[in-house]
Structure 1
Amino acid sequence: MPSADLQTVFVVAADRARAAQLAPLLRQATVIHVADAETLLREAHVHPPDVALLYTDLPGVPPAQVLPLLRQRAELGGTQWLAVGTQGLGAMLGAGADALISDLTPPEALALQVEVLLARARQHHTLQGRVNALQRRMDTWEHEERVRDQLVHMLVHDLKNPIAAVMGLLDIVQEDTRVPDDSRELIKVARDETQHLLHLAVNMLDVRKIQAGKMHLRRELMFTPMFQEVIDLARGDVGSGLRDRRFHCEVEGSLSPASADPEILRRVLANLISNAMKHTTKGGTIGVTVRSAPDAVHVRVQDDGEGIPADDIPNLFAAFEQSRLTLHGRFDTGMGLAFCKLAIEEHGGTIGVESERGHGSTFTFTLPLAQDDDDDFAELLT
């Protein structure tokens, strides 16, 4: 059995002297003589060689018939096959030999050729080791992703119903005329924070859905009135804190129809308006503008708040990232902006941000226009 510290060279030849002649010249390898093709098939499976010399004058089954079978074995993927002879080299090349050499070559030159092939084999094994390590890491990562997905899905579904129930109860209490005004204000804050918690949970679930390709858009043609309606709904989703800011909305009067999912767009706008609110003080200004462009509808959400540090902008749309400088103490997962980016890109649009510290931020995204071959659009035109 060859040493684990040495590379292995098989000399497949009828004459044992050929292996004996080569062995002293290969100090860093164990040379093993193999007498025939049948033995090679058996021994190569048990002890895969790094290099195998196949002499073409081998009696019995020709090596050109055996080599294709050997090359199909996974454990021999790194083996280098050297055909040695004066005849039949063309057949060996066609059978998959890595190199050819005459059997009249001096032993020293033959040894040099074998050393080159041993170096290739070492390189292959090194690369294969790296690939295997990366595959193990990938398998571990995929397992962790599956566990994370299952956990997020379970948590969100388990949380949504009780959170919605709490919000409903708070609405009932808030409308009760027996509740004092000071307590009513506290209930309003509790209701807003509960709604924020619900948004966090839903954003986490939807980000995972989009990443897994499981969210399917329900596109509609969106004209000016629908944009205005979606923005109004998004304002309501943000909560009562928006009352403390100056909010203005401007939608171009004759927009070319965009192709978008109104419910997803509502969520995107609610996240962006909520983000603007977090970064502005009471009395600050938040604006939403919708404009036509030749190839898309451009939507802009702008605020005059604290702005975003330049170092934070590159990772702003990544999950679990948010600006380090905020005017509020509320915990945020960063899933809101991650959802916005994924949702807009799922529509075929783009999203970006411009900001200067102390001078507010402007988030802009695009939505593709409806195409002439869109069924709803074609029906509308007719």
Structure 2
Amino acid sequence: MIHPSLRPNVFVVSGDRARASALAAALPEVDVSFIPDAETLLRETHVKVPAVTLLHTGTPGVALWEVLPLLRQREELAGTYWLAVGTHGLGELLAAGADALISDMTPVDGLALQVRTLVERSRQQGAALDRVAQLQRRMDTWEHEERVRDQLVHMLVHDLKNPIAAVMGLLEIVMDDPGVPEDMRDLVKTARDESQHLLHLAVNMLDVRKIQAGKMNLKRELIFSPMFTEIIELACGDVGSGLRDRHVRVDVTPGMAPVSVDPEILRRVLANLLSNAMKHTITGGVITVRVRPQAGGVQLVVQDDGEGIPAEDIPNLFAAFEQSRLTLHGRFDTGMGLAFCKMAVEEHGGSIRVESVRGQGATFILELPSLPEDDLDDDDSADLLV
């Protein structure tokens, strides 16, 4: 292979030096080297990498077709073109790996044209391989940076979870102490809610990275109507005490066909949507959670009567590090919660969308597919229905 920025080398392997001299005169733009035999060719290819090597069939010594397979195995010669020249013995060289054949009766100008074409191919191949190497280096750098980021996220989450949980526990104890003045109790409640929010941010960041890396393995279970109610209640508890200042209405259709989901992931999705609804509603606002059957699956709706989402914010609402510019509470958010919701729902084979009118609240709609009929007929499903 010839590097695109270097002057190309051309080897002429022949018992007649005049052949190399004639070709050098016809190709002043390349360096032509005379190689008298196969043994010299083996040595010289360790010193220089030829763009093209002309193998004359009448060369004395070891037959060229015997050494050509060895040369073709060498990685540094992968871009070298091997041109067999002669009238007899071309078949052996072609079988040994020659790239092209040409008669030794061809005029030198014709031979030079053929060599020039092969040199240009080698140059192009060198340029292409250089670009591939640059892209590979960039990819290696990117993968290294991704690994560093993943390690940092894991470190942050695992190192933060325990102290945050400890702080939340201590704040709960303080809140339950009847001797704490009411004005101080409100401050403790705010501290507890913000600690819960910080924990959600850290865990969502970790889960988004897991899904992006394809490392989140869903632990699916069959979920029936009563279990949806339980999951919603648990999600409400995860959001924190802020929901106590809102009216949360839950409406789950009884007797629905089961869907196969990871209950813990669904709980996290609903907790994020409830937290988002709470963030955009005032004290005394109404948040409604509905679960309804639909053709091919189940629809979950989380609706609030808050300020709504500006139309220009909706297209990017589920992207990480994006959030609506309009919020009642001015709390900074990474947008990881809604990004996690979208990725988690799509990981289940479902979809999520939002509908909102400015000043009339927002409605998040999740659609999860039901089980295929053959899955409903298996033994595990039968045991669960007993």
The 5 Å alignment of 1:266-305 reads: 266-305=267-306
Cα separation, partners in 2 of 1:142 and 1:17, compared to 1, 3 Å: same
Amino acid at match of 1:38: E
CA contact (8 A) 1:280 1:303 kept: yes
Structure-1-length-normalised TM-score: 0.90
- Classify 1:370/1:49 alpha carbon distance in 2 versus 1 (closer, same or farther; 3 Å): same
C-alpha distance after superposition, 1:86-108 (max 9, x if no partner)? 23334433333332222211111
What is the aligned length?
381
Q: What is the deviation of 1:354? A: 4.1
Q: Give the Cα–Cα distance (whole angstroms) in 2 for the partners of residues 132 and 70 of structure 1.
A: 23
CA distance in 2, matches of 1:358, 1:69: 77
Instruction: Provide the C-alpha distance between the structure 2 equivalents of 1:369 and 1:218, rounded to a whole number of angstroms.
Output: 16
The alpha carbon displacement at 1:301 in A equals: 2.4
Determine if contact 1:370/1:377 at 8 Å carries over to the other structure.
no
SS of corresponding position for 2:110: helix
1:56 deviation in Å?
2.5
Is 2:380 the counterpart of 1:376? yes
Indicate how the Cα distance of structure 1 residues 353 and 16 shifts in structure 2: closer, same or farther if over 3 A, else same: farther
Offset of 1:22 from its aligned partner?
0.7
> Partners of 1:312 and 1:9 in 2: how far apart?
63
Structure 1 pair 267/142, CA: closer, same or farther in 2 (3 Å)? same
Inter-partner Cα distance in structure 2 for 1:272 and 1:63: 74
Task: Tell me if the contact between 1:45 and 1:75 (Cα under 8 Å) persists in the aligned partners.
Answer: no
- Structure 1 position 309, deviation (Å): 4.8
Alignment correspondent of 1:106 = 107
- Displacement after TM superposition at 1:175 (Å): 1.0
The C-alpha deviation readout for 1:42-97, integer Å capped at 9, x for no partner, is: 22232111122222333333333322222222211222222222233344333333
Q: Summarize the Cα distance change of 1:326–1:87 in structure 2 as closer, same or farther, 3 Å threshold.
A: farther
2:168 paired with 1:167: yes
- Cα distance in 1, alignment partners of residues 27 and 310 from structure 2: 63
Moved more, 147-156 or 3-12: 3-12
Q: Tell me which moved more, 179-188 or 364-373.
A: 364-373
Matches within 5 A, 1:351-370: 351-355=352-356, 359-370=360-371
CA RMSD between the two structures: 2.5
How far apart are the structure 2 equivalents of 1:304 and 1:82?
79
Correspondence 1:21 to 2:25: no
Match for residue 340 of structure 1? Answer: 341
* CA–CA separation in structure 2 for the residues paired with 1:109 and 1:300: 77
Cα distance change on mapping 1:59 and 1:283 into 2, 3 Å: farther
Distance 1:195 1:86, change over 3 A: same
* Aligned counterpart, 1:62: 63
**CA spacing shift, 1:169–1:46, aligned 2, 3 Å:** same
Give per-residue Cα distances to partners, 1:169-209, cap 9 Å, x unaligned. Answer: 11111111111212211111111101001111112222233
Equivalents in 1 of 2:336, 2:219: separation in Å? Answer: 22
**Most deviating of 187-196 and 89-98:** 89-98
8 Å Cα contact 1:309/1:323 also seen in 2: yes
State the distance in 1 between where 2:312 and 2:16 align: 72
Match of 1:206 in 2: 207
Q: Which amino acid aligns with 1:377?
A: S
**Aligned partners of 2:130 and 2:48: how far apart in 1?**
18
Shift, 1:109, TM fit = 1.3
Contact 1:348 1:367 in 2 (8 A): yes
Q: Structure 1: which 5+ residue stretches go unaligned? A: none
| CA distance in 1: counterparts of 2:89 and 2:165, whole angstroms | 80
Shift of 1:6: 0.9
What is the Cα deviation at residue 302 of structure 1?
3.0
Is the deviation greater in 277-286 or in 189-198?
277-286
The residue number in structure 2 matching 1:46 is 47
- Displacement of 1:375 in angstroms is 4.9
Of residues 199-208 and 55-64 in structure 1, the stretch that sits farther from structure 2 once superposed is 55-64
CA displacement 1:91-150 (0-9 Å, x = unmatched): 433333332222211111111111111111111111111111111111111111111122
Superposed CA offset, 1:303-357 (max 9, x none): 3444445554454333333334433322222221232233223333333344455
Residue identity opposite 1:297 in structure 2: V
Distance (whole Å) between structure 1 residues aligned to residue 222 and residue 103 of structure 2? 75
What's the counterpart of residue 135 of structure 1? Answer: 136
Describe the shift of the 1:319–1:57 C-alpha distance in structure 2 as closer, same or farther (beyond 3 A). Answer: farther
Select between 289-298 and 97-106 the one with higher mean Cα deviation.
289-298
Of all paired residues, the percent bearing the same amino acid is 69
Alpha-carbon distance in 1 for matches of 2:371, 2:171: 41
What is aligned with 2:12?
Answer: 11
Alignment partners' CA distance in 2, 1:191 and 1:77: 65
The AA in structure 2 aligned to 1:163 is I
Counterpart amino acid of 1:376? D
Q: Which residue in 2 is equivalent to 1:328?
A: 329
CA distance in 2, matches of 1:227, 1:328: 30
Compared CA separation, residues 87 and 247, structure 1 to 2 (3 A): farther
Question: Structure 1 residues 314, 108: closer, same or farther in 2, change over 3 A?
Answer: farther
* TM-aligned CA deviation for residue 292 of structure 1: 2.1
User: C-alpha separation between the residues in 1 aligned to 2:367 and 2:71?
Assistant: 57
Q: Distance in 2 between matches of 1:55 and 1:358?
A: 86
